[in-house]
Structure 1
Amino acid sequence: MATTIQMQVISTEELKKAVGYKAVDDHIRSGMVVGLGTGSTAYYAVERLGQKIKKGEIVDIVAIPTSTKTEHQAKTWDIPLVTLDTHPSLDVAIDGADEVDDQLNLVKGRGGALLREKMVEVEAKKLVIIVDESKLVKGLGITGAMPVEVTPFCWKRTMRRLLEVEAFQGCQVSAKIREDKDTVYLTDNHNYIIDLFFQKPIPDISLAARQLIEIVGVVEHGLFLNMADICIVSGMNGIRVVEKNP
């Protein structure tokens, strides 16, 4: 089920801002516990929430950030922050995605926050995904990295195991340790990320998700399956709101 709102947008940042603002305007109300995503599109949702709190349009609200970067941004807006330890159930979470298929399954984590994102968003009663139309795909795993967070201990052994995953047969998968300025990238959890690249879409994403998490040394992976409820998509022709099929 999809609805379209016509609008004029002139840049990628305008597209991101449009869906970020709409997600907050449509789905966040006073008294809620909210999950705040990470990334260049989620940035605008945090900004909009901060604006509405500052204006007094939303009150009695607390939020759980999914990264230290989002935490710092939220603090600049004086958004009250809590954790899952004190607030284990969320009313709504808003976040971006790297890929979205037609069943609202996702690849997330190219920004490095996949573990905290999944921990927070799996506890949300409603997960709202905000993207531009370039993130829509026919099959997951074809537009870039599918990240896997792993322990630093013996990460090369873990990488070899990732390349042997049965569900990836026929996909021509390759792997690369993520680096930042010529050093290994560290997540907020002090883990490494191994990026997997595929020449073809992952044929069985459910099997892949199960087999990935079964590998000892894997902390979490970037397949977010059966989690999103709504996807707000911006494009040059306007905004579409796509709801998960019942």
Structure 2
Amino acid sequence: MNEKQLVGEKAVEYIKDGMVVGLGTGSTVYYTIKKLGELVKGGLKIKGVPTSELTAALANEEGIPLVDLKEIEALDVAIDGADQVDSHLNLIKGGGGALLREKIIANAASIFIVVADSSKVVNQLGAFPLPVEVVQFGVDMTSRKVACLGCVPKLRVREGQPFITDNGNYILDCDFKRIESPAELEMKLNMIPGVVENGLFVNSASRVITVENNEVIESVK
């Protein structure tokens, strides 16, 4: 069993009958959803709220009942992956392009559990380019404003065309090298007109499940 599967399935232990569960996006939480599907087939009664169309499709394949966010008041727990996790449990997310919905759902959950293999754990955020979701209108101007914060923004492209999120926006992947103050940068980015949201998740994770020395470990905020 690989690290992603180990931590992805470990998070399922926090899911109880009757819960409303935020379902993240990515290669690690994939295993969480697969395991939840097995438990649902075995009688577990939950409702899932997906963070992306891709996750919704996977959850449907696994037989997990889904609800729209507007149908509920809050989530009991959300489980998602991360592109980087620092020692303070701050995160960079958005490599899969679902950062806006992921942040909305994480914020709505009573408990936000992050699953990450050991390669995602770092001392300081920044080596992974920070995804910033922006509206299509005026993207060049928005990119220049973002660059003024000390990065090199690059429009995300797939198959020769700009990548478009489930919300109809573009993503700038911003190379900061090192992010000294995640909370300050998060605030400054979101003050730029045209920026919808950014992939910094500061003081958001309740618990991080990862692997150290071939053993699953959990860090709590």
In the TM superposition, 1:64-143 aligns within 5 A as 64-142=49-127
Look up the equivalent residue of 1:196 and give its one-letter code: C
Look up the equivalent residue of 1:21 and give its one-letter code: E
The higher radius of gyration belongs to 1
Runs of 4+ residues deviating >3 angstroms = none
2-structure distance, mates of 1:47, 1:121: 20
1-structure distance, mates of 2:26, 2:180: 27
Look up the equivalent residue of 2:194 and give its one-letter code: G
Q: Are the equivalent residues in 1 in contact too, given 2:116–2:208 (CA < 8 A)? A: yes
Look up the equivalent residue of 2:31 and give its one-letter code: Y
Task: Tell me the CA shift for residue 136 of structure 1.
Answer: 0.8
2-structure distance, mates of 1:190, 1:74: 22
**Normalising by the residue count of structure 2, what TM-score does the alignment of the two structures yield?**
0.97
2-structure distance, mates of 1:39, 1:237: 22
Alignment gaps of 5+ in structure 2: none
Task: Tell me the CA shift for residue 84 of structure 1.
Answer: 1.5
Match of 2:3 in 1: 15
After superposition, the CA RMSD in angstroms is 1.0
**1:206 equivalent in alignment to 2:193:** no
Task: Tell me the CA shift for residue 236 of structure 1.
Answer: 5.0
2-structure distance, mates of 1:225, 1:34: 21
2-structure distance, mates of 1:236, 1:96: 20
Task: Tell me the CA shift for residue 41 of structure 1.
Answer: 0.3
Match of 2:17 in 1: 30
Q: Are the equivalent residues in 1 in contact too, given 2:75–2:110 (CA < 8 A)? A: yes
Look up the equivalent residue of 1:215 and give its one-letter code: I
Partner of 1:126, secondary structure, is: strand
Query: Higher RCO, 1 or 2 (CA under 8 Å, sep at least 6)?
Result: 1
Deviations 1:167-189 (A, max 9, x none): x4xxxx21100000111000011
2-structure distance, mates of 1:235, 1:111: 24
Match of 1:189 in 2: 167
